[in-house]
Structure 1
């Protein structure tokens, strides 16, 4: 297949601004290239991810959907990078069989009906915007089978859940080393923004006096500074946004990883990254982690928004066999298995498309 990937438009690839979407796109791209498919990625300027074939497109970045209210109207900058990427795709579409859209935004969905080739939409978040819900619902009806999601619980935030293709996720397990004997420290891995609930993890670490290593891009500086003011004595260390190689080397040494989202996570790639290192995951019983963590076996699912529940789970981490964490990652989230699902989804879309 000749594939044209449309990247997230909220930040350059490789910076961490795109959150888990970046890792998703990277892994899908690697696997499609390994299978000898032709591939080009359209992404904002200054994008870089290994040796992936990226065409950098200029323009102003989009505002992340999760930072806006549900009823905010669709707004495009005068020189929007998303508009420019879509226009580039329109001009070169005859050179490709399929466009794969990773941008959680209204415009690529709306334009689906105006392209001459089919578009597969990888929806990376649950219901956040009325405008987005409406346009995706229309695409589901006009182009059945072209909307892909990560988990069932994510799909269920939409009224058209039954029409979504659940794709899951996967990672290159060879990049993650299993660590049998961790140090007495915890991890938190995500974009630093209010919807990720970092303050709960910090509060739990402070109560127990266990060091917490924080990995990820600071997306909301004011939010981060408030946490530092509110918990001046918390045993935390901000490590920053790291490459996969550097992240897994430090993550694997942690006793457990905390996931504290305030919203419905579509999936949670960091959960399977932790499991691949043998690190148990403690997550709020909300969103994608519900379908990842085996409660009591590879981590704990706890009451959402409860610091006390996090503390109790941390105190029980020694009951988790780290080998089972790695084993689950190998059984359920290998890149070849995920590649099979994605490749078949692409082929099904091409077979069903009646425009060509």
Structure 2
């Protein structure tokens, strides 16, 4: 991505959120944080942003256009060959109908939904749509339409990481890797942690929380678990299988309360069973000075500096996770905070997104 792309004017941006849950509910996972921080970064640079999201959404510092309707089924709960479907009175369809009605007020629509419909609708809009793909390949139908849009509308597909993009077939270059960023002022550095570990994320099978629980048992370190319980039966299975594990579930916490817990931990454990597109929790931990121990799979493998800001281990290998915990005293926690400041600040995020938007406008002949 060129470094010398400087916007010639301020953009009016329309952000369309995920249709799987209200912002603030935790159902949208990392997408909720991504929308918040991207909006912050754009507004700080003088652009205007309107956020459209399902009813019940709330975001500190932002007024959200609330759209009613039935939520979409999350992609990771479906099979690759599951046909495309929309519920009656679909909130996704209603959000995009609203976008169609107001598009002449904006320069660019930014799609945060990992769903087939926004890609299909792209040719029917008169302004460009920038699509942020928030997960790895999960659906054959979605793979196909993403590839088609990458060819028909070059520059409009953005990924979090190269590892994530590599899971999709037949994409047209150039590809944009946007990573993510956070408001570092919200995360406090801690140099002297307690002998406890953290696990943060949606509680569902693809996150493999049970592996982190085994690490807690084998190291005899308490594991602080934070996040939305998306699969209640999966959570109950863990509780029944490990009734005496040194774990504590703290719920889905606000950023302020979450970082108070995470910063006091010796490490954040990441155990993705699938290809994580990025891993917002990793950069949140780094911002607190907390090393990250993760499977070498997907986004975390592009965030963590092995041996410097954490450890990357063989996927699905609990023994190696445990071994990495024993080496935490070799990590300088200040290096973790410094990496977050250098690579994942809102300013760095804003630069990446401005460059991407600029490329879209230049290709479209709108600048």
Whether the TM-score (by the shorter chain) exceeds 0.5 is yes
1:90-105 matches, within 5 Å, as: 90-105=100-115
Q: 1:234 aligns with which of 227, 245, 251?
A: 245
> Which consecutive residues of structure 2, in runs of 5 or more, have no partner in the other structure?
1-10
1:143 aligns with 2:153: yes
C-alpha separation in 2, matches of 1:335 and 1:181:
26
Verify the 8 A CA contact 1:117 1:355 in the aligned structure 2: no
Q: 1:207 aligns with which of 197, 214, 218?
A: 218
SS of 1:43's equivalent in the other structure is strand
C-alpha separation in 2, matches of 1:124 and 1:134:
16
CA RMSD, aligned part only? 1.2
How far did residue 317 of structure 1 move? 1.1
Q: 1:272 aligns with which of 256, 273, 283?
A: 283
Residues 288-335 of structure 1: per-residue CA shift (max 9 Å, x gap): 011111111110001111111111111111111111111111111111
1:73 aligns with 2:86: no
1:134 aligns with 2:144: yes
Verify the 8 A CA contact 2:227 2:252 in the aligned structure 1: yes
Q: 2:255 aligns with which of 209, 222, 244?
A: 244
1:189 aligns with 2:200: yes
TM-score (norm 1): 0.98
How far did residue 231 of structure 1 move? 0.4
Verify the 8 A CA contact 2:154 2:172 in the aligned structure 1: no
How far did residue 245 of structure 1 move? 1.1
C-alpha separation in 2, matches of 1:220 and 1:315:
31
C-alpha separation in 2, matches of 1:334 and 1:36:
17
C-alpha separation in 2, matches of 1:33 and 1:166:
21
C-alpha separation in 1, matches of 2:173 and 2:197:
38
1:1-356 matches, within 5 Å, as: 1-159=11-169, 160=171, 162-353=173-364
Residues 3-50 of structure 1: per-residue CA shift (max 9 Å, x gap): 100001110001111111111110000111122212111100100010
C-alpha separation in 2, matches of 1:33 and 1:68:
36
SS of 1:282's equivalent in the other structure is strand
How many residue pairs get aligned? The number is: 356
Verify the 8 A CA contact 2:196 2:266 in the aligned structure 1: yes
C-alpha separation in 1, matches of 2:172 and 2:348:
23
SS of 2:353's equivalent in the other structure is helix
SS of 1:127's equivalent in the other structure is coil
> Which consecutive residues of structure 1, in runs of 5 or more, have no partner in the other structure?
none
How far did residue 277 of structure 1 move? 0.3
SS of 1:84's equivalent in the other structure is helix
SS of 1:51's equivalent in the other structure is coil
SS of 1:239's equivalent in the other structure is strand
How far did residue 53 of structure 1 move? 2.4
C-alpha separation in 1, matches of 2:104 and 2:63:
18
TM-score (norm 2): 0.95
